[in-house]
């Protein structure tokens, strides 16, 4: 249906680079290889554009891509400022700390940060919907008594963010970020994408292993572009990173286990097609249609019996 509807003309565009480092989960939080992981991310980001592509204005790194806290490594921000050219921006998935340098009262967030060409963090958005037993332990006191902990290995328990907001990116565009499985919820994405021209999804699907998981997760993210009529930029630590246009078509993608980057020129025609209120109305209409269909089938069945 979306492909059959004429697309509005593009009014703006942005050149992007999606980085997929394909870091093995056994090394993800190994302190001895942190510098190597960071160097891999930097090397992929700094390479010359592929033939026929312009220098990227926006570079996207996946969820928890930086294997340390920026508060402990200010030299990393300096290196990023040196790597980024004039006008370039990096959006990176990081662990963000509040409370100061590992103090007992510190809170940690699964976040994305926007870093400008001076190596300054100019914006941050925390993950609002955390994965129970993966990123936090619900009823921790009770479960820990029975020896139940997190089911997915991670650096620490995360605190949930309060709200999501769009990030201002080059060319006067706004990108709304969703971290990991946040992107699978249609209404959640519709509400926050209503004021944006781009959907960004950063994730780390390596823990799925060799299962349908990475493919299902990507397809669900792809449908968010179809529903909202805006492009999707997706960076995964390990499959499937992709650029999806506003019609839901895959512009380019990296396979599971691939290490590298996608360079793409992304036309933008406007903001999301439906507002949050319109989405709620559509949801109500769909429920009414299902109820009407159920009633019709019930009546037909009764008539057959009689």
Q: Any idea which residues carry the catalytic annotation? A: 63, 127, 180
Tokens standing for 54? 């312009």
The residues near 248 (Cβ < 8 Å, ≥ 6 apart) are 2, 3, 222, 223, 225, 226
Q: Are the beta carbons of 112 and 121 closer than 8 angstroms?
A: no
**Angle CA 292–298–299, to nearest 5:** 90
Element of type H or E holding 299: helix 276-305
Residue for token digits 């499985």?
181
Q: Are the beta carbons of 95 and 64 closer than 8 angstroms?
A: yes
Q: Are the beta carbons of 237 and 203 closer than 8 angstroms?
A: yes
- The Cα–Cα gap between 183 and 180 comes to 7
Closest CA to 208 of 275, 256, 148, 160: 256
- The Cα–Cα gap between 61 and 261 comes to 10
Under DSSP, the state recorded for 137 is -
Under DSSP, the state recorded for 274 is S
Provide the pairing of β-strand 121-126 with 167-169: unpaired
Closest CA to 179 of 195, 196, 192, 169: 192
Dihedrals phi, psi of 58, to nearest 5 degrees: -130, 130
Residue for token digits 């959006």?
91
């Amino acid at each position: 249906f979306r492909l059959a509807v004429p697309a509005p003309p593009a009014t703006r565009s942005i050149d992007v680079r999606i980085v997929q480092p394909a870091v093995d989960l056994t090394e993800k939080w190994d302190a001895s290889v942190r510098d190597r992981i960071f160097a891999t991310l930097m090397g992929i980001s700094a390479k010359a554009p592929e033939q026929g592509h312009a220098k990227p204005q926006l570079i996207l790194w996946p969820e928890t891509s930086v294997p340390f806290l920026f508060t402990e490594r200010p030299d990393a921000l300096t290196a990023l400022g040196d790597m980024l050219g004039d006008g370039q921006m990096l959006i990176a998935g990081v662990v963000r700390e509040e409370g100061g340098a590992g103090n007992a009262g510190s809170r940690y967030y699964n976040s994305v940060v926007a870093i400008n060409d001076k190596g300054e963090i100019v914006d941050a958005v925390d993950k609002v919907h955390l994965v129970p037993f993966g990123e936090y332990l619900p009823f921790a006191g009770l479960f820990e008594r029975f020896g139940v902990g997190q089911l997915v290995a991670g650096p620490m328990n995360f605190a949930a963010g309060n709200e999501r907001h769009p990030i201002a990116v080059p060319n006067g565009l706004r990108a709304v970020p969703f971290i990991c499985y946040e992107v699978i919820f249609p209404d959640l994405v519709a509400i926050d994408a209503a004021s944006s021209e781009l959907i960004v999804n950063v994730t780390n699907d390596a823990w799925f292993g060799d299962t349908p998981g990475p493919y299902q997760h990507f397809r669900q993210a792809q449908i968010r572009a179809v529903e909202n009529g805006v492009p999707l930029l997706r960076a995964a630590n390990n499959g499937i990173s992709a650029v999806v246009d506003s019609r839901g078509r895959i512009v380019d993608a990296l396979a599971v286990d691939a290490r590298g980057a996608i360079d793409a020129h992304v036309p933008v025609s406007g903001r999301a097609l439906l507002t949050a209120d319109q989405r709620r109305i559509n949801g109500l209409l769909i429920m009414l249609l299902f109820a009407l269909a159920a009633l019709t089938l019930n009546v037909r069945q009764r008539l057959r019996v009689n």
